A and B are shown apart, each in its own frame.
Chain A
Amino acid sequence: MTLPPLPESAIVLRGEAATWRDAVRLAGAALATSGAARPGYSDEMIRMIDEHGPYVVIAPGLALAHARPGPDVLTDGLAVVTLREPVSFGHPHNDPVSVVLGLAISSRERHLESIADLANVFNDQAAIPAIAAAEDAATVIAILKRNQ
């Protein structure tokens, strides 16, 4: 099974974000730092939410920021951002958000295996609060690997 790669460089803990846009930018910057995406991928992810609304807030406290495969994606990658202060995305049920996942997918065809692994992790309802409370990157990585 294969989660998208999550190096420590793609994990930001207790990030400062005043708005959901700032929070998504932190995830985009983390993907750029790890080499999964170009810096422009942040704007792509924000555009998806501007266009379609806050549907990326797919569970209480969790946003799965992502855009389509495209030139700004360099390779498959995952970023995890926890927020010092949760932000609102304007979602009717799942605000406020304290954990933002950034997802870069390079090929539509191969992505479902990684997504299945992501589902395995977060189908455990304890995963989101545990990641939100994590004090170091190793703890976040352990939570994501635990349920694969």
Chain B
Amino acid sequence: MKIVAICGAGIGSSGILKVNAERVLLRLGLEADVTATDIGSVQRDAADAQVILTSAEFVEAIGKTYADVIVIENYFDQQELAEKLEKSLG
């Protein structure tokens, strides 16, 4: 399974999403490859992704995708991440 975290620069905020998503997946016992990238590379990097993690600001720019786009409000709330990932993957 592939999960892609998206932000404007592909560092910083998407990096935090990646790190925290990996921790949550480990806790949930789910295996996935999580990468971070910038919005300009989303079509290439997320072409085969099952899930895209991002902020509300990027949903429109992500455009057409087969991935489930999950909007995260608080990047440091592992409970929010766990609930939304579980709902999407479970």
Residues of A within 8 A of B (CB): 48, 51-56, 58-60, 64, 66-69, 92-94, 103, 105, 108, 111-112, 115-116, 118-119, 122-123, 125
Contact = CB atoms under 8 A, between A and B. Distances in A.
Contacts of B18: 112, 115
Chain B contact residues, majority secondary structure: mixed
Interface residues of B, number: 27
A105 B39 contact: no
Nearest to B54: A55
Given A119-B19, A119-B20, A68 B9 contact: yes
Contacts of B74: 58-60, 93-94
Nearest to B13: A58
B7 A115 contact: no
Nearest to B17: A58
Contacts of B31: none
B73 A122 contact: no
Interface in B1-52: 7-13, 15-16, 18-20, 36, 38-39
